[in-house]
Amino acid sequence: MKLGYLQNLRTGRIVGECVCKADSFWLRFQGLLGRTSLAPGEGLWLIPCQQVHMLGMHFAVSVWFLDNQGQVCELIDELLPWKISPYIREAQSVIEFPVGWGNVTNTLLGDKLDWQESCSEG
């Protein structure tokens, strides 16, 4: 699994300090199941993805949908356990962050995120 960080190009702020890319079927299938929380700045990037579900989850998350240019095309700052997100047609991927993370990082629709790989694991 690839680990890296994400920077918001509008604000210059690092919005994800430790983001795991889930870019295979099994990594996406597992997702955050079995986890009890995400630390501030920690995230899971589901590639490809246009919709997520929270079935079996024990905590809420902030869900950021990105288009093929890396721009935030939808942001749901609190998706509760046992809920399903809307299907976002223009999304190419989804990042799950701690609940409220969009507000904490001042991330807005249209913001472009830049990925930098920091290390690889597993």
Rounded alpha-carbon distances, angstroms, from residue 107 to 61, 97, 102: 15, 12, 5
**Greatest alpha-carbon span in the chain:** 35
**pLDDT on residue 122:** 44
Mean pLDDT of 17-28: 91
* Sign of the dihedral defined by the CA atoms of residues 37, 38, 44, 50, in that order: positive
Q: Which domain holds residue 34?
A: 2-120
Statement: residue 43 has pLDDT above 50: yes
CATH number of the domain residue 51 falls in: 2.60.120.1140
Average pLDDT of the chain is 94
Least confident range from 23-32, 46-55, 60-69: namely: 23-32
- pLDDT grade for 119, boundaries at 50, 70 and 90: low
CB neighbours of residue 113 within 10 Å: 22
Number of domains observed in the structure of the chain: 1
Mean pLDDT of 83-90: 98
